[in-house]
Amino acid sequence: MANAYLLTYNTALAAGWAYILFLVADTVYNGGWTAEVYERTSLPLKICQTAAGMEVLHSVLGVVKSPFFTTFIQVLSRYWALWGIVEVAPEAVKTGALKLFTVGDVTFQLNLISLLFCWSLTEILRYGFYAAKEAGYVPYPLLWLRYSTFVILYPLGVASEMTMVYLAMPTIRKERPLSFSMPNSINFAFDYYIFCWLAIACYVPGLPELYFHMLRQRKKILGKPSQHAKKAALKVK
Residues assigned a catalytic role = 154, 161
**How many other C-beta atoms can be found within 10 angstroms of the C-beta atom of residue 178?**
14
Phi, psi of 177 (to 5 degrees): -70, 155
Class of residue 144 by CB neighbours under 10 A (exposed 0-12, middle 13-18, buried 19+): middle
Contacts of residue 52, defined as CB under 8 A and 6 or more positions apart, other chains included, come to: 13, 75, 78
- What is the distance between the alpha carbons of residues 216 and 121, in angstroms, rounded to a whole number? 21
The three-point CA angle 48-51-54 to 5° equals 150
Q: Do the Cβ atoms of 115 and 163 come closer than 8 Å?
A: yes
Q: Which helix (H) or strand (E) holds 119?
A: helix 112-135
- What is the distance between the alpha carbons of residues 183 and 68, in angstroms, rounded to a whole number? 38
Q: Do the Cβ atoms of 135 and 4 come closer than 8 Å?
A: no
- What is the distance between the alpha carbons of residues 169 and 89, in angstroms, rounded to a whole number? 8
